[in-house]
Chain A
Amino acid sequence: MTEADYYAFFDDYLNDRLDAPVRQNLERRLAADPVLAERLADYQRLTGTLNAYGQRLRVSEKLRAIQAEIDAEQEQVLETGRPEMPVMRISRTEQWLREFWHGHRATMGVAASVAVLAVFATLLGLQWWNAHTQPTTRAVQYLSSKVDKLAKAQQKDRRVMNQVINQIGSTPATPVNPGKFSGTGFALTADGYVVTSYHVIDGADSVIIEGRDKQRLRVEPVFSDAAHDLTIMRVIDRNFRGFGRLPYTVKRRQAELGEKIYTLGYPREDQVYNDGSLSARSGFEGDTGFYQISIPVNPGNSGGPVLDDRGNLIGVISSRQMDVLSTAFATKSSYLARLVDSLSAAPHPHTYNLPKQNQLVGQTRPQQIRKLQDFVFVVKVFDRD
C-alpha cells in the first residue's frame, strides 16, 4: 500500500465514506500504530493548510469586491447626487497632491513655520543691526553756513583760486560779492595770523575777515589740516598794521572735564556769546582730536575760539551733533599748538609769535569778553558764482 493509497483511505475516512467495520478497524490501528497516526496528522495538516489557504484567497477576493462596491457607490453618490450638475472630477495629479498633502501636512506645517520665523528673525535682526550700527555721520553738522556749496567749490582748481586772490590783492577797488558763507575766526598772533575751521574756507576763491569795527581784511589760507578741521590764514592787506597784543594764550595741555568754557562767534551779523562746560575729552565717535562741549552753537559759530575761565584758548568750534541736544565738538587747542610748532620748525618764511602772556586771568567774564571781542572776526568766503 503506497502512501497515496493511504491518503485516499484517509480522505474517505475523514469524509465519513468508509463502512463501519473498516472504520473501526482503522481506528484500532491508529490507536496502536503511532507511525500511522503521525501519517494521518500530516495529511490533516497538509489539507487543512491548503483549505485555509484557499479560503484566505477567496475571502480576500470577497473583501476586495466589497470594497470596490463601496468605492463605486461613493463615486455614484458623488456623480449622481445632482444629475444636472456638472460632475466634479479630480485629476490623478490632484488626487496625488491631495494624498501627499494629507500625509505630510504636519511636516510641511512645521517647515513653513520655521521658514516664516527665520524670515522675520532675519528682517528684525537686520533692522536692529542697522539701527545700532548705522554711522551717524550725517548727524554731525558742520557749523559754517552752506557747506554743500563749499563741497562744490572744492572741486575747482586751486590755481584759479590763487589767481583770483592775487587779483583782488592787487586791485583793491574791484567790487567784491557779498559773502556767501560765513564762519568765525580769531587772531592767532598779533602780526596777522588767523585761525578758523577748515570746512569754513574749504574750496573758497577768496576769504575776508571782518571785525567788530566792520573793517574788512583780506586773508589767505596758509595751512590747512582737514583731519582736525583747522586752517591757519594770514592777513594779506597791505595796510594791515597788526591786531595789537592778544589777551589770551593757547593752552598746550588738555583741558579738564567739567571746566567752565565760553565762546564768541558770529552765528548772525552781530557777535554772540555763549557758555557751557567741557563735556568730554573726545569728539564724535570717540575722535580724540576733539572735545565735546555743551555750548549751544549754531551755523556760523564754526571756527570760533573756545576759552576757559582763565582766558586760555582750549579749542576751536567745529561741528555739532544733530540728534543730541546741545552737543558740539571743538578741535583741541593742543593740536593747534602742535600744528604751529611743526610749521615753525619747517624751513619756512613764516614765523609764529604766539601770545605769551594771558591778560584775562582773574577777570570777570564781561571784562574778559570786552578784551576779547576785537580779536574775533566774521570769516566771509567768496567764490566766483
Chain B
Amino acid sequence: MGKGQPSYTDEELLAGIRHGDDRALAHMYRQYLPTVIHLVTQNSGTEDEAKDIYQEGVMVFYEKVREGTLELSCQIKTYLYAVCRRLWLKRLAEKGRYGGRLDDFEPYLETGAEADLADAEERDRQFALMSEALVRLGEPCRSLLEGFYLLDKSMQQLTAEHGYTNADNAKNQKYKCLVRLKKLFFTQYKEEPLS
C-alpha cells in the first residue's frame, strides 16, 4: 500500500469506520481488495464481477459496524473473505455455473458472516420496498423526502428549492409526506410474507 499512508490496525479501522471516517473506509477497501479479486477470478469470474462482489461485501461489513451490531471474532480480512465467498457462491448458483466447489485461497472459518448476510438480505428487501413506496408517493413529497433523507440536504436548501415561504412550512409539509409514506410503506411491508 505504501504511498505514505498510515497503516491501521483492525481496531483502528473499526473505530474509524464507526465514526464515519472515510479515509479508514478507503484504506480498508484497498487493503483487502486483491484477496477477493483473486478468489473470484480464480473461480470463473471476471475482475469486474469481483469488484461488484467486494463492494457488496464491504457494504455488509460497513452497515454492521455503523449499526454497532458487528460481533467480530476474527480478522477483518477473514470476515470480508467469508462474506464475499458466500456472495460469490450465490452469484455462481444464479448463473448456473456453480460446480459445487470453490478454490479457496484463505482459511475459511465460521465467522458469523452467514447470519450477517441474512440480515443484509432483509435490509435489501426493506430498501427495495422503500424505494417503491417513494415512487408511488408522487411529487412533491418524493423530492422533499428524498432530498432530506437520501441526499442529505438541509431544510433551508429544500425550502428554497420547493418554494416554501419558510422552513416551518417545509417542515410541516415533510411531516405530512411522512405520514403518507408510512401508509404506503407499511401496507406493502405487511403484505409481504415474512419468510
Residues on A close to B: CB < 8 A? 2-5, 7-8, 11, 42-43, 46-47, 49-60, 62-64, 66-67, 69-70, 99, 102-104, 106
- Show 21 A/B contacts (Cβ-Cβ < 8 Å), sorted by A: A4-B172, A4-B175, A4-B176, A7-B175, A43-B182, A47-B149, A49-B127, A50-B149, A50-B150, A54-B152, A56-B59, A56-B127, A57-B150, A59-B62, A62-B22, A63-B59, A67-B29, A70-B29, A70-B30, A102-B46, A103-B46
Q: Answer whether residue B25 sits at the interface, using C-beta atoms and an 8 A cutoff.
A: yes
Cβ-neighbour of A54 out of B123, B126, B151 (below 8 A): B151
Q: Answer whether residue B145 sits at the interface, using C-beta atoms and an 8 A cutoff.
A: yes
Tell me the smallest distance from the CB of B86 to a CB of chain A, in Å.
Answer: 18
Cβ-neighbour of B150 out of A3, A54, A63 (below 8 A): A54
| CB contact under 8 A between A67 and B55, given known A47-B149, A103-B45 | yes
Q: Answer whether residue B131 sits at the interface, using C-beta atoms and an 8 A cutoff.
A: yes
Q: Answer whether residue B186 sits at the interface, using C-beta atoms and an 8 A cutoff.
A: yes
Contact with A along B101-116 (1 / 0, CB 8 A): 0000000000000000
Q: Is the interface of A mostly helix, strand, loop or mixed?
A: helix
Question: B63 contacts which chain A residues (CB < 8 A)?
Answer: 52, 55-56, 59
Question: A60 contacts which chain B residues (CB < 8 A)?
Answer: 55, 59
Given contacts A11-B175, A52-B123, 11 further A-B contacts (CB under 8 A): A46-B186, A50-B130, A50-B145, A52-B127, A56-B127, A59-B25, A59-B59, A62-B22, A63-B29, A67-B51, A99-B46
Q: Answer whether residue B79 sits at the interface, using C-beta atoms and an 8 A cutoff.
A: no
Tell me the smallest distance from the CB of A51 to a CB of chain B, in Å.
Answer: 6
Question: A62 contacts which chain B residues (CB < 8 A)?
Answer: 22, 25
Closest residue of B by beta carbon distance from A64? B55
Tell me the smallest distance from the CB of A2 to a CB of chain B, in Å.
Answer: 8
Tell me the smallest distance from the CB of A216 to a CB of chain B, in Å.
Answer: 90
Q: Answer whether residue B70 sits at the interface, using C-beta atoms and an 8 A cutoff.
A: no
Q: Answer whether residue B84 sits at the interface, using C-beta atoms and an 8 A cutoff.
A: no
The answer to whether A5 touches B175, judged by C-beta atoms less than 8 angstroms apart, is yes
The answer to whether A46 touches B178, judged by C-beta atoms less than 8 angstroms apart, is yes
The answer to whether A103 touches B59, judged by C-beta atoms less than 8 angstroms apart, is no
Tell me the smallest distance from the CB of B99 to a CB of chain A, in Å.
Answer: 9
Tell me the smallest distance from the CB of B103 to a CB of chain A, in Å.
Answer: 11
Contact with A along B162-195 (1 / 0, CB 8 A): 0000000001100110110110011000000000
Closest residue of A by beta carbon distance from B44? A103
Closest residue of A by beta carbon distance from B67? A52
Cβ-neighbour of A7 out of B58, B59, B179 (below 8 A): B179
Question: A56 contacts which chain B residues (CB < 8 A)?
Answer: 59, 63, 123, 127
> Bound state CA distance, A217 and B33, in angstroms?
107
Q: Answer whether residue B26 sits at the interface, using C-beta atoms and an 8 A cutoff.
A: yes
The answer to whether B25 touches A53, judged by C-beta atoms less than 8 angstroms apart, is no
Question: B7 contacts which chain A residues (CB < 8 A)?
Answer: none
Q: Answer whether residue B136 sits at the interface, using C-beta atoms and an 8 A cutoff.
A: no
| CB contact under 8 A between A49 and B130, given known A54-B151, A54-B152, A103-B46 | yes
The answer to whether A46 touches B59, judged by C-beta atoms less than 8 angstroms apart, is no
Q: Answer whether residue B75 sits at the interface, using C-beta atoms and an 8 A cutoff.
A: no
Question: A49 contacts which chain B residues (CB < 8 A)?
Answer: 126-127, 130, 185
The answer to whether B179 touches A106, judged by C-beta atoms less than 8 angstroms apart, is no
Question: A11 contacts which chain B residues (CB < 8 A)?
Answer: 175
Tell me the smallest distance from the CB of A66 to a CB of chain B, in Å.
Answer: 5
Tell me the smallest distance from the CB of A36 to a CB of chain B, in Å.
Answer: 15
Q: Answer whether residue B66 sits at the interface, using C-beta atoms and an 8 A cutoff.
A: yes
Cβ-neighbour of B58 out of A3, A63, A70, A106 (below 8 A): A63
Question: A52 contacts which chain B residues (CB < 8 A)?
Answer: 63, 123, 127
Tell me the smallest distance from the CB of A109 to a CB of chain B, in Å.
Answer: 12
The answer to whether B179 touches A4, judged by C-beta atoms less than 8 angstroms apart, is yes
| CB contact under 8 A between A51 and B149, given known A4-B176, A63-B55 | yes
Which one of A43, A46, A70, A103 has the highest number of Cβ atoms from chain B below 10 Å of its Cβ? A46
Q: Answer whether residue B41 sits at the interface, using C-beta atoms and an 8 A cutoff.
A: yes
The answer to whether A8 touches B127, judged by C-beta atoms less than 8 angstroms apart, is no
The answer to whether B30 touches A53, judged by C-beta atoms less than 8 angstroms apart, is no
Question: B66 contacts which chain A residues (CB < 8 A)?
Answer: 55
Cβ-neighbour of B172 out of A8, A58, A69 (below 8 A): A8
Top 8 nearest A-B pairs (CB, nearest first) are A50-B149, A4-B175, A7-B175, A54-B150, A4-B176, A63-B55, A3-B179, A99-B46
Question: A7 contacts which chain B residues (CB < 8 A)?
Answer: 175, 178-179
Closest residue of A by beta carbon distance from B52? A67
The answer to whether A42 touches B186, judged by C-beta atoms less than 8 angstroms apart, is yes
Question: B178 contacts which chain A residues (CB < 8 A)?
Answer: 4, 7, 43, 46-47
